Structure 1
Amino acid sequence: MNKRIITSLFWAGIFLLLVPGLLHAYLLMPFPGSQDLEAITFVYYLEKIVLPLRIIGFLLVLWPLWHAFAKGRLSEKITKGGMVLVCLGVFYFSDHLYRAERMFEEPQIIRFASSQSNQVPDTLLVLGVVEGSVAKAYPVNYLGYHHKVQDSVGQVPVLVTYCTMCRTGRVFSPVINGTHQTFRLVGARHYNAVIEDASTKSWWYQATGEAAVGPLQGRTLKEITYEQLTLRSWLEKYPNSLILQPDTNYLLAYDDLKRYDRLQPIDKDSTLKSDTLIRKSWVVGITVDEQAKAYDWRELIEAKVVNDLVGKTPVVVTIEPDSLSFHVWNRNLEGNVLHFESDEKTLWDRQTNSTWNWQGECVSGLLTGKKLKSIQAHQEYWHSWQQFHSPTLFWRGEKSPAPTIISEN
């Protein structure tokens, strides 16, 4: 066989061994520029052909490699042998060390404890879920590493998820078309975790529960109501709650996130002004009457309580004295729209001067025993809310002008 043809076969094989896999890894991990591309459909189908292309590449390389070591000069042996070693090294990094489902493993031990035997500090943030008479709390620091915990609350299966790149917590039903699915972590697009169900192999965005590509494209996982607040606040509301305990196999990984729930990047940079909005500024986002709206976290901390109208629904957004736990309620109570005020410790309505607790219940005054209806709210980074809820209204404080409508594009 012509030596030029042999050489061409070798380099064609090396190309197939390296490039598809590298491109796949680049598009599914947060490398510079990769997450801003609209490439989820491309990488979805690329993943399906990476292995066949590698097999073809391996077959193309075999004969030229044998020829080099049997008949070639020393320089040819070093070149071709070296490239094979490069391929092996790339495989290790792209298919093992930096593969999402291996970087962020499923918990090996899922163990819960009561408040009496709990070992989790009550200052940590949790995602709290209630089904029937059963309440469970999932610490964000643990979820942030694993990205997802597949569990059940009472008799209801739940998929509890958290993506640290977006600061998005979501709880979904893992039941699709009547079948309880298991999910694997694929990687990330637009800095948000992408998961795949076992049966249809569809890819779902964690921030929305929407299938972005695959047989179920356009479908949305059923979202299960949850609250994000400190464990202390959760236990005040549900003292009999079970609390997810740390998996001792991942204590070092959890330790890397021990301050994750405290300071946002904008607070760590003294060069930024107080009204500066950056990609990782925290917001509380809600969607009511098909209208998305985000509230600047630092302004919420200062205001303590915000009375607002989203779509046609009057809402109240509150921050507890711990400056970490937040709530959003419908302030229309039996046809009467209440206006709330707050100080460092107390929440009351202006109309009756009744006092309310942080569970949305009136504990003293004319409205004692009444309860506000909760509205699902999410705390996340501004770049995430803007990406997945565009267009959106944006509130930047009581002194700011009318809310701005912001589109991702």
Structure 2
Amino acid sequence: MMKKPTSSYIFWTGMLLLFVPGLLHAYLLMPFPGSQNIEAIKLCYYLEKIILPLRIAGALVILWYLIKYFTNNRRWGKIVKVTILVLGLSSFYITDFAFKASTMFEEPKTIKFADAVANKVPESYIVLGVVRNGVAKAYPLVYLGYHHKVQDNVGDLPVLVTYCTMCRTGRVYSPVIDGKRQTFRLVGARHYNAIIEDESTGTWWYQATGEAAVGPMQGSYLKELPYEQSSLGAWLNKHPGSLILQPDGHFKSDYDDLKDYDVKQAVDRDSTIKNKDSLIRKSWILGVIIDKQPKAYDWRKLTKTCLLNDRLGTTPLLISLEDDDHTFHVFSRQVNGKTLTFKQDTTGRFTDNETASTWNWEGKCISGASKGRQLAVVQAYQEYWHSWQHFHPGTLFWK
């Protein structure tokens, strides 16, 4: 008696179409071992667009197989195929929920702010601060670090306040593209940096640089907005009327997972590293970019220096850390065409050698010949060394 064909290759083709694209997509967009070092953002982008059609095709192929050939299998063949199919279906939980960025890191359910009187956030927490026409708002890193982004307004200014804990990158962007305010979703991560997508064009943007990596806007950049990173206490000293983002009680355990993230380096948590001044992947650096030339400063060495007169290209820089060792400032040292050289005095303020004037942490001269003058602020970033190196190739390094 001739054996009826089982045509198993049809079953396995259907399984391949139904499950593999989703698993590959999840693997490449989450920080699984080896996944983030692959240049695969375009693959991820186009794969996401064809996953559903492939799944439909795969489901139809499997259905066809089950109707026409499944009964031809022997008992163990049926058990194996049913088991594999059940396991495959369970993978939908992994690809479409468990490792889906937008469900792992939800948007705040309520965005609530409080003034300094009603505030419940400890002043030791590090914040990203934004000011617009006299309105100041502070966004604590431990909350941003879980949510990755908060879409808000500072006064009349729409803002997209972002943070990626894998890179230690805080950035504030305008969510307006071609005159239209966008809503952004968290897609996943590439090169350990968050990828966000705007609603209208479907473009994928790197959080660390604001660059459109793939999609209709590829090659363009989100408009970066100025911000400061400081301890909440230092921020309130400068902006006592600031509003502070309060924690959303729905995510308390997620915030607790980031305890001390904002103030303690990974190198200090690693007992195997004897020399805590070693430069490792997650060492903090302070980064500056002038005329497209990036430069990095070892954070641990800056905390020992506190104040540094430096130069990047033709721009003389003043880099300073406040007494809390977390609030940093970068200014241009050029005032009225003259380059000033600074030193810190016993009060914690700093003076310049050329005019013997005294300046505060806002870069404003409060006494002396230059009283009333303002140092130009240079946008600076605190970041992990591995991230700064990757997104700013050719960076200089201060030693």
Please report the TM-score for the alignment, with normalisation by the length of structure 2: 0.96
- The secondary structure found in structure 1 opposite 2:275 is coil
| Counterpart residue type for residue 62 of structure 1 | L
Aligned residues: 395
Pick from 360, 367, 379 the counterpart of residue 364 of structure 1: 367
Shift of 1:67: 5.3
Q: Which residue of 2 aligns with 1:22?
A: 23
| Counterpart residue type for residue 22 of structure 1 | L
Deviations 1:276-308 (A, max 9, x none): 211111001011122110100001001111111
Shift of 1:272: 3.9
Inter-CA distance 75–352: structure 2 relative to 1 (3 Å threshold):
same
Q: Which residue of 1 aligns with 2:240?
A: 239
Q: Which residue of 2 aligns with 1:47?
A: 48
Pick from 391, 394, 397 the counterpart of residue 394 of structure 1: 397
Q: Which residue of 2 aligns with 1:110?
A: 111
| Counterpart residue type for residue 240 of structure 2 | P
Q: Which residue of 2 aligns with 1:404?
A: none
Contact 2:187 2:195 survives alignment (8 Å) = yes
Q: Which residue of 1 aligns with 2:173?
A: 172
Deviations 1:347-382 (A, max 9, x none): 222223322221112223332222211100000001
Shift of 1:122: 0.8
Deviations 1:298-346 (A, max 9, x none): 0100111111111111011101000010000011111121111126733
Contact 2:349 2:359 survives alignment (8 Å) = yes
Deviations 1:22-58 (A, max 9, x none): 1111111111111111111111111111111111111
- The secondary structure found in structure 1 opposite 2:7 is helix
Asked if residue 334 in structure 1 is aligned to residue 336 in structure 2, the reply is yes
Shift of 1:88: 1.6
| Counterpart residue type for residue 341 of structure 1 | K
Aligned partners of 2:29, 2:176: CA distance in 1, in Å?
25
Q: Which residue of 2 aligns with 1:302?
A: 304
Deviations 1:134-170 (A, max 9, x none): 1110001000000000011111111000000000000
| Structure 1 residues without counterparts, runs of 5 or longer | 397-409
Contact 1:304 1:343 survives alignment (8 Å) = no
Aligned partners of 1:85, 1:274: CA distance in 2, in Å?
49
| Counterpart residue type for residue 145 of structure 1 | Y
Deviations 1:59-91 (A, max 9, x none): 111133345765644323321211121112111
| Counterpart residue type for residue 170 of structure 2 | G
Contact 2:126 2:263 survives alignment (8 Å) = no
Contact 1:40 1:189 survives alignment (8 Å) = yes
Aligned partners of 2:232, 2:313: CA distance in 1, in Å?
32
Shift of 1:221: 0.4
Contact 1:289 1:313 survives alignment (8 Å) = no
After superposition, residues 187-198 of structure 1 pair within 5 angstroms as 187-198=188-199
- The secondary structure found in structure 1 opposite 2:196 is strand
Residues 136-145 or 262-271, more deviating: 262-271
Q: Which residue of 2 aligns with 1:291?
A: 293
Inter-CA distance 287–215: structure 2 relative to 1 (3 Å threshold):
same
Deviations 1:207-233 (A, max 9, x none): 000000001000100000000001111
Aligned partners of 1:288, 1:120: CA distance in 2, in Å?
34
| Counterpart residue type for residue 188 of structure 2 | G
Contact 2:6 2:73 survives alignment (8 Å) = no
Inter-CA distance 82–67: structure 2 relative to 1 (3 Å threshold):
farther
Aligned partners of 2:57, 2:308: CA distance in 1, in Å?
61
Aligned partners of 2:274, 2:5: CA distance in 1, in Å?
60
After superposition, residues 86-105 of structure 1 pair within 5 angstroms as 86-105=87-106
Inter-CA distance 4–361: structure 2 relative to 1 (3 Å threshold):
farther
Residues 347-356 or 306-315, more deviating: 347-356
Contact 1:112 1:242 survives alignment (8 Å) = yes
Deviations 1:178-236 (A, max 9, x none): 11111100100110000011111110000000000001000100000000001111111
Residues 342-351 or 113-122, more deviating: 342-351
After superposition, residues 1-400 of structure 1 pair within 5 angstroms as 4=5, 6-66=7-67, 70=71, 72-270=73-271, 271-342=273-344, 345-396=348-399
Contact 2:145 2:163 survives alignment (8 Å) = yes
Aligned partners of 2:274, 2:166: CA distance in 1, in Å?
21
Contact 2:4 2:72 survives alignment (8 Å) = no
Aligned partners of 1:118, 1:3: CA distance in 2, in Å?
75
| Structure 2 residues without counterparts, runs of 5 or longer | none
Aligned partners of 1:339, 1:230: CA distance in 2, in Å?
26
- The secondary structure found in structure 1 opposite 2:240 is coil
Deviations 1:224-277 (A, max 9, x none): 000000111111111111111111110110111121011111223342424421
Aligned partners of 2:328, 2:69: CA distance in 1, in Å?
67
Contact 1:289 1:312 survives alignment (8 Å) = no
- The secondary structure found in structure 1 opposite 2:33 is coil
Inter-CA distance 299–45: structure 2 relative to 1 (3 Å threshold):
same
Aligned partners of 1:117, 1:280: CA distance in 2, in Å?
35
- The secondary structure found in structure 2 opposite 1:273 is coil
Over aligned residues, Cα RMSD in angstroms? 1.5
Aligned partners of 1:367, 1:70: CA distance in 2, in Å?
91
Contact 1:314 1:331 survives alignment (8 Å) = yes
Please report the TM-score for the alignment, with normalisation by the length of structure 1: 0.93
Overall identity of the aligned pairs, in %? 58
